[in-house]
Structure 1
Amino acid sequence: MVQMLFRYQILALVGGGPDPLYPPNKVMMWDDNESRCIGELSFRSEVRGVRLRRDRIVVVLEHKIFLYNISDLTLEHQIVTISNPKGLCEVSQVSGHPLLVCPGLQKGQVRVDHYGSKRTKFIAAHDSRLACLGLTQDGRLLATASSKGTLVRIFNALDGSLLQEVRRGAERAEIYSLAFSSGAQWLAVSSDKGTVHVFSVKVDSGSLGCERSHRRSASESNLPSPSGISSLSFMKGLSFSGVLPKYFSSEWSVAKYHLQEGLRYIVAFGHQKNTVVILGMDGSFYRCQFDPENGGEMTQIEYYNFLKPEETS
């Protein structure tokens, strides 16, 4: 397990695999410029996840989360969670007091810690267990997916209100990653179905206050979207009345890209406008571009395999 502190030379390393260099219950802080470990954190159980920001390091165990000051590795806070084998946890990246999200003590519950105001909020996000979390850099928007993997929900992380719900598909799937674009206009989702989806986020995160959320104006939200709304959305009234299932009024992805099914992929947004970066556990790297107006299948503009350079195109 490796976590990089932005583009700095500091890495957090956790041992794994059949013959690990470091034990799986330790986090080694590595300075790549000096090629040496500059600190370590030891635990009684296996480390499930690590998150870094400029002033904090977050270590996730199966039932606990620890927040440390990154300068001297002093413990600042610890959280008890429900069983969290995936190491689910996200932390805001903007300067100032951090906002941390993680599983709560109940199935499908998200815990949000606001370290600036010293408040903790719990969100009943799903009926089934959490599978993935995503957070905007400023910590204002939170995306969640459950073990069912059919729906993704977007919450106001400041007050816990549900802002938007989008549908990945009708069949169960394991969600591997959720990523917001830097401006929080788009949300990318990858799953074991081998498809990366991009959804339009219909929330202005900059207008979210500490205790209130503001949706875009009615005139703006009613503007037509190319493929972000189901073509069967005219049945919405019937759906809500119970005549037809909610599936028919679902909000669908604007764009998608098909990959090998069953392989684990992590997705993020690129520096170029309307681009998505996809990393596969087989060493594959994809950079794709989507059309925000017409939607549809994304266009591959770059491919590289770090484990098989001869396959590069």
Structure 2
Amino acid sequence: MVAHHHHHHHHKTTHPSSSGGGKHSRTYYADTATSCIHPPYSHIATTVNNSWQIYSVLPRPTLVVTRPGPHPTAGPPTRAVLLRDTNVVVVVCGEKTVTLWDELAKAAVWTIDCAEDVCGVAALDGFVAILHPTSADIYTLLPKPTLFRTIPTYLNPQGLHSQTATSITLPGAHRGQVSHTTQLSPGTSPSTTLISAHTAPISALATSHSATLVASASETGTLVRVWACKRGAPPTLLRELRRGVERATVWSLAFDEREQAVCVASNTLTVHIFTLAEPAASSGALSSGASDQQASASSPSRAAVASTPDSPEGKNRTSILEPLAPYIPLPKYFSSTWSFAHFRIPDDRSPHDRDVQVTPCTAVFLSQHLARGDSADSGFGATSSGSSTNRQIIAVLRGLSLHLFEYDTRRGGEATSVAYYRIKTPSAVAGES
């Protein structure tokens, strides 16, 4: 089973609440639902209208199940996560309550009331991680839910994390640090690697399918760093990828299932795809924990970058001055790698919503066998025909809209849009306020 992670940017939206409760009360509306797409990216979980829903992704988003909040007294569901390959859904209700719902039994099988706010949840094989503002509590599920260990984190109000079946990656306890815990399986002792990844606080994380690669971005948002985490060895910086020159908020990072590419989505509404296949030109010069700051005054203009959209033999673009690097002490800007392929996410929000804020989105590589298993009428005609091996589908989930793009893994350049769906949510559950 494919289990390459995703780091979900669950987004809390504050509205004037109808409940008239304390300062933390929230009401969720259809357009501001929290939603996440789960490894192996076959399902989407959302919380909206005082209920939670699970949708299957292909051939088009289809409602599989919808339920009211399992805990009416704790408050409405604020996020939901599917326990992969099972009929169990982890639902966060209100601020501090986490419930495991068994869809087969149609009942809540376990509920925990936390002392601290719950910022996020992650479902692993046999474990559930509950993320608080400065820590993550890992619970084993069998034979009964038991606190297994607590991992300290830097202030993490968004609940940033990424995971595979047996690993979880979190912000470390210090600013700019990443904490990567592997071998989370019953009966083994987990191992945690700490990475001095950035100087600014972490804003996005991704873990590869094998949990041997970690990608990180900081609040500066200009660079994405890819780290090799081999067991028993210190982490090494494998790649430094340049998303752009201007500061931006990186919303999501994801690896493809073959661990040969990374996609980066940010609030510029652009998704960049980087290939990891070729050796880094200047890896020797990169030191761990290097500064993310680029003095924008001295940053050269984008024109200094090779402008050909198609880079030869599937390589990322680098600066056209980069071959001179051995001879001239060029600023570090020139030796980092630019994206191989990219696309813009259409802004599909209503004019009213555009004033509120830009809804974060998650971009993931759809599993090749998932995308290829489609029939021609599924809206993916381009994928099924011809040499599908060098086409790759990327799914972008934003609130309740799903965009599908595909790009040529050999030529790169601009990705093309293949489908767009607006997920229709059921109306509010009867009997709920």
Does TM, normalized by the shorter one, top 0.5? yes
Residue 86 of structure 1: how far off its partner (Å): 1.7
Q: Report if the CA contact (8 A) 1:31-1:37 is conserved.
A: yes
- For residue 325 of structure 2, what is the aligned residue in structure 1? 237
Change (3 A) 1:47 1:259: same
1:181-239, Cα deviation, whole Å (9 max, x unpaired): 111111111110001111102379xxxxxxxxxxxxxxxxxx9544612251534516x
Please state if 1:80 is matched with 2:80: no
Q: Report if the CA contact (8 A) 1:227-1:252 is conserved.
A: no
Q: Which runs of 5+ in 1 are unaligned?
A: 15-21, 205-222
Q: Which amino acid in structure 1 is aligned with residue 242 of structure 2?
A: R
The 5 A counterparts of 1:1-313 are 1-14=79-92, 22-71=93-142, 72-93=144-165, 98-115=166-183, 116=188, 118-158=190-230, 159-202=234-277, 224-226=312-314, 228-237=316-325, 241-242=328-329, 244-260=330-346, 262-271=358-367, 272=371, 274-281=392-399, 283-307=400-424
State the identity as a percent: 29
SS state at 2:325 partner: helix
Say which is worse superposed, 72-81 or 163-172, in terms of deviation: 72-81
Residue 145 of structure 1: how far off its partner (Å): 0.3
Residue 113 of structure 1: how far off its partner (Å): 2.6
Distance 2:163 2:278 in 1: 20
Distance 1:44 1:257 in 2: 43
Distance 2:139 2:278 in 1: 32
Equivalent residues, number: 277
Distance 2:116 2:425 in 1: 35
Distance 1:190 1:200 in 2: 15
Change (3 A) 1:305 1:151: same
Q: Report if the CA contact (8 A) 2:124-2:167 is conserved.
A: no
Q: Report if the CA contact (8 A) 1:25-1:46 is conserved.
A: yes
SS state at 1:290 partner: strand
1:142-162, Cα deviation, whole Å (9 max, x unpaired): 000000111000001233111
Distance 2:103 2:415 in 1: 36
1:66-120, Cα deviation, whole Å (9 max, x unpaired): 1111232111111122211121222332xxxx33321222110112234456433
Q: Which has the larger radius of gyration?
A: 2
Change (3 A) 1:231 1:241: closer
Distance 2:395 2:182 in 1: 30
Q: Which amino acid in structure 2 is aligned with residue 188 of structure 1?
A: C
Q: Which amino acid in structure 2 is aligned with residue 164 of structure 1?
A: R
Residue 128 of structure 1: how far off its partner (Å): 0.5
Q: Report if the CA contact (8 A) 1:57-1:67 is conserved.
A: yes
How does the TM-score come out when normalised to structure 1? 0.81
Indicate the structure whose relative CO is greater, using CA pairs within 8 Å and at least 6 residues apart. Answer: 2
Residue 54 of structure 1: how far off its partner (Å): 2.1
